[in-house]
Structure formats: structure tokens, C-alpha cells
Structure 1
Amino acid sequence: MSKVAFLLASDFEDSEMKVPYDEVIKAGHQAEIIGLKENETLVGKQGKVSYAADKAISKVRAGDYDAVVIPGGSSPENLRLSPEVLQFVKETNSAGKPIAAICHGPQILISAELLKGRTVTSYPPLKDDVVNAGAEFKDEEVVVDRNYITSRTPKDEPAFVRELLKVL
């Protein structure tokens, strides 16, 4: 089974973390929450769920994981300034491993300069940012482009999870 890294900071969109995380585990895969600090409590912006970071980004390597999930909300904004997060995502991409990003998740791909020539979706207000980063934006529930799986909002979670589980 696969080992999946969930990149997370506080103020994530509750269901965009909980639903994929629970489904990955239910399918028999291993899920680890990677934050900026180990054991840090990370709280969803709706206050419905919270998680403790299993590991700090400074202590992990992209090669230790088979896929990466980037939940939305304000979490990506809180992570995108970390050079270690950007390097981790770049190494994951270089290895051709799946990167699944929902809602604001593509902000990390933008900051890592990984969208040029790609086709993705995101939270619709990010369209200009995605296009300015060199990607084609599609307003669809899920867009799969090589190793990228992207979705727009919580209502797209079923399609997002379906495509993620397919590649795992």
C-alpha cells in the first residue's frame, strides 16, 4: 500500500482534509500529516476537526512518500512561504509522484513554480494566479494532468478522492 503525505497548517478547510485523509486510510494506505513543526496542533478553519502534525517538514524527504495531498483553506497560504515545503513538492514532482491539491492547494504549486504548461483547476478566484503561473485553468470538479490531481471546492471532494485513490 502507499504512504501519503498530507501537507497541513492551521486554518485548513476541514472537510478537504478530513474526507481525503479518512478515505486514504480506509482504503488501507498509510497517511502522515506533515506540518511546519512536529506535534503541532493544526485546527481547521471551521473548528470541526484538528490534527497533530506527525512530522515536521524539516525531518522528511519526498522519497519517503508515494503521493502528496494538499488540502485547501488558508493552510496552503501558511505553508507556501516555507522553502522546505516548496522543495519537498518539487522533489515529489520531479519523481513523477502524484500531487493532489484541492481548493487553495495549488498555491503551493504556484510558489514552487510547478504550473507552467500544466492544466489544473482550483478555487475559482485563484484562476488568474494559476494562469499567471503558466497553467491552463479548467473550471471542472476534478482535473488530472499527468501526476497532478486538482479540484475546486468541498463539493468536488468525491471526484477528488476517486481520482486520488485510482493512482494510489
Structure 2
Amino acid sequence: MGDLEGKKVLIVATNRFEESELFGPRELLMARGATVTLASLALEAILGTVHDAPGRTIEPDLLIADAHEADYDALLLPGGVGNPDRLRTEATAIELIRAFADAGKPVAAICHGPWLLVEADVVRGKRVTSWPSIRTDLRNAGGEVVDEAAVTDGNIITSREPDDVPAFTEALAQALQS
């Protein structure tokens, strides 16, 4: 039995997610006993990337529109450039992120994933980090930007890049245990 047995984590992603930022945390969380569910815009395989090159695909478990914050203990938002850029125009995705944040549940975003936190207006007054190219967006949204592998401020967890997946996942695991 793992230390995250009974915990349920929802990942929200669409095409062009950064492969290691979805598969890495997913596998680490599942190995520790968490149940991990993937929600997307359609019930068709979504394509990951390794930087900009096409990567592996994965089948979503449900539609974002059918996901409810009350059914999960935490939300995970992988990066990749295309994935959060597409999702930030989807009202259902932004409303779901806001619901998790408002409920005080952990919301973890890595790399370009914090763009979604900006869109949901949940970084104001929070210490956050991200891929360097979106740090100005985080500052403009009221976040205090730092350069650390994983940053936890209240229920918001952010991370910089694929190399930080272990620290990012550990920060989420710690939040789930508290």
C-alpha cells in the first residue's frame, strides 16, 4: 500500500502536452498508490511532445466538461506550449481550475501550465515559478515569481521544466498528505 492510497488526482490536458510532464507525475503518483484520471476536450487520444517533436499519445478517461472538483483531491496541469495555450481558451477548463483553487485543493502546474493559473486568476499574491518565457505573464497576473524547482504557496504548486518533475511530483504528494 502506497502513501497516496485513496487519493484521487485529476490531470487536465489536450494535444501538445509536454510528454514527461504528464507521464512522469502520473507514473510516480500511481506508483505511490494514487488513482490518476485524465480529462481532455474530447475522448480521442491526445498527442504529447518532447519539446517540439511529436511524442507518445494517451487516451483520456473523461471529458473536462464531465469532471467535477468534488470527485478529486488535487488537479495537475502539465505544460508543453500548445496544451495550455489551447486550454486557456476553454471556459470549462478554466472554471474547473478555479473550482479546485476555490475549494483549497492542491492545483499543480508545471512549465507552461501556469498560463492556465493566470487565466483562472489564481496566482495573485502567490509565490510561483514557470518556464522562463511566461514569467512576465505570472508577474502581470500578480504573482511573485521565483526561480526554484518546485514552489508551494498555499494550495498552488508550480514548477519550471521537465527536469523538475521529481521535485514537482514530491511537492504535490506532500500537499496530498497534509
TM-score between the two structures when normalised by the length of structure 2 = 0.91
In structure 2, the partner of 1:8 is 13
Q: Which runs of 5+ in 2 are unaligned?
A: 1-5
**1:166: Cα distance to partner?**
1.3
In structure 1, the partner of 2:156 is 148
In structure 1, the partner of 2:68 is 61
Q: Which runs of 5+ in 1 are unaligned?
A: none
Kindly tell me the number of residue pairs found equivalent between the two proteins: 167
Equivalent of 2:59, from 23, 27, 52?
52
Q: Percent identity?
A: 37
Amino acid at match of 2:37: E
State the SS of the aligned residue for 2:36.
strand
In structure 2, the partner of 1:88 is 96
State the SS of the aligned residue for 1:100.
strand
Mapping for residues 1-168 of structure 1, pairs under 5 Å: 1-37=6-42, 39-46=43-50, 47-73=54-80, 74-168=82-176
CA distance in 2, matches of 1:167, 1:118: 16
CA distance in 2, matches of 1:60, 1:100: 17
Amino acid at match of 1:43: L
**1:53: Cα distance to partner?**
1.1
**1:48: Cα distance to partner?**
3.1
CA distance in 2, matches of 1:48, 1:56: 22
CA distance in 1, matches of 2:8, 2:144: 29
Q: Write out per-residue CA displacement over residues 24-66 of structure 1, whole angstroms, 9 at most, x where no aligned residue.
A: 11111111101011x2111112333211111101112111111
**1:95: Cα distance to partner?**
0.6
**1:81: Cα distance to partner?**
0.6
CA distance in 2, matches of 1:156, 1:123: 11
